[in-house]
Amino acid sequence: MLKIDPDRLLNDLGHLRTFGATGPGVVRLSLSPVDMDARRWLAGRLNDAGLSTTIDGVGTVFGRSRNAGPALLIGSHTDTQPTGGWLDGALGVIYGLEIARALAECEETRHFAVDVASWIDEEGTFSGFLGSRSFVGERVDEAIGSARNREGVLLSDALKQAGLAEAPRVRLEKARHKAYMEPHIEQGGRLEAHGKSIGVVTTIVGIRELKLRFIGQRNHAGTTPMSIRRDAGAALVAFIARMDEAFRQLADADTVWTVGRIDLDPGSFSVVPGAADMYLQFRDASAGRLRAMETALAALIRDFNAEGKVSVAMTDSEPPEEPVMMDAALQAHIAGAAEALAPGQWERMPSGASHDAQVIAHHVPACMLFVPSIGGVSHDFIEDTADAHIVLGCEVAAQAAADILRHLAGQSPR
């Protein structure tokens, strides 16, 4: 009978947490010395589990089952944000390790192939999703040559310092890798609010990141009457109110938008701002709704410019990301395992955050499983998940993995 070892799972998660531990959180930025220590430890654990393991030329840790395919690839990331939590990404990697061990220890499943990956730089210290993009064959050499971290260190120099510059890079084997699973903490509060223990991810949302620049006229804040001011800052604030109203008319319960930064020029008490920049992001699982929001935003800008006092121009801050659907058949396997092990305690839901799965899903059928985040908090030192939910999530993921591999091998379900 397939069984995970809860103590082994929690002990490995706890040990990984010690690499870069900072209070209750973790600081483990990609390719830093502590990150490389964690990667070497993980490689050792994967080897101990019977996987042939390497740290590749961009820093991805990859454990390859010695069993013949078809293979299920399970992965996530072990790098963190500058003020990171201990489970973001790490949970999925250690789930992969534990599932590979559990399947190997069960007579019925020991012949199945589970490969495990800890992708490098999901968090974008140098170049976001570097490991998964390299794995699927995207061109990453330009990023390697030019990307820098906050301290100005070149990615190419960091790879040399880590001793990886000449290492081969792992690649997707289409004849072997037939499915990808990424377990993860939710990073939001929906499961907790609904009293659920497992989320079956339907879609990874699309993202738009835009810069809106408002141009008015600098002037003296004490001598310029309100009636003749061309105040770019005041115009920006008024625009946000109109935008909120327009977006609310289009939104559903999972639509989100954020003004993450505002810059005023010159930013002085005594000067009417002559220019103001607003950095806007919005996310949704529907490509149609994203287009509708873009259309509404463009109409607001046209109306604003027609009023004449302050002009507005919009540019892309980052290239748009389209929503990515998770594979329906793989979702069904996770849902079936969730209902068997936690009846009524699961629901289908979109992922509001980005993940390596959105890169890999364009090349291999992909799925994601969520467990609750306490208080809905992530990307912060206090990020946490109850041990019971961690264990249950791994049990569901392991059962789903076995069912997926049975299906890939042409075997009947349990």
The CA distance from 233 to 197, in Å, is: 45
The CA distance from 181 to 329, in Å, is: 12
Residues 6+ apart with CB under 8 A from 185: 85, 87, 88, 91, 370, 371, 372, 373, 378, 383, 385
180: β partners: 73, 366
Q: Determine if residue 339 is labeled as part of a ligand binding site.
A: no
The CA distance from 272 to 281, in Å, is: 26
CB atoms within 10 A of CB 282: 24
E strand or H helix at 98, and its extent?
helix 90-105
Find, among 317, 407, 340, 411, the residue nearest to 367 by Cα. 407
Q: Determine if residue 184 is labeled as part of a ligand binding site.
A: yes
- The single-letter code of the amino acid at 333 is H
CB atoms within 10 A of CB 207: 21
Find tokens 């939001």 and name the residue.
188
Q: Three-state SS across 278-293?
A: EEEEEEECCHHHHHHH
The CA distance from 345 to 200, in Å, is: 11
Q: Determine if residue 379 is labeled as part of a ligand binding site.
A: yes
The CA distance from 362 to 324, in Å, is: 8
Structure tokens at 203: 């879609």
Which residues of 361-403 form beta strands (DSSP E)? Answer: 366-371
Q: Determine if residue 231 is labeled as part of a ligand binding site.
A: no
The CA distance from 17 to 151, in Å, is: 24
The CA distance from 27 to 386, in Å, is: 21
284: β partners: 206
Rg (CA), the chain: 24
Q: Which residues are annotated as a binding site for Zn(2+)?
A: 77, 88, 123, 184, 379
Binding residue positions: 77, 88, 123, 184, 379
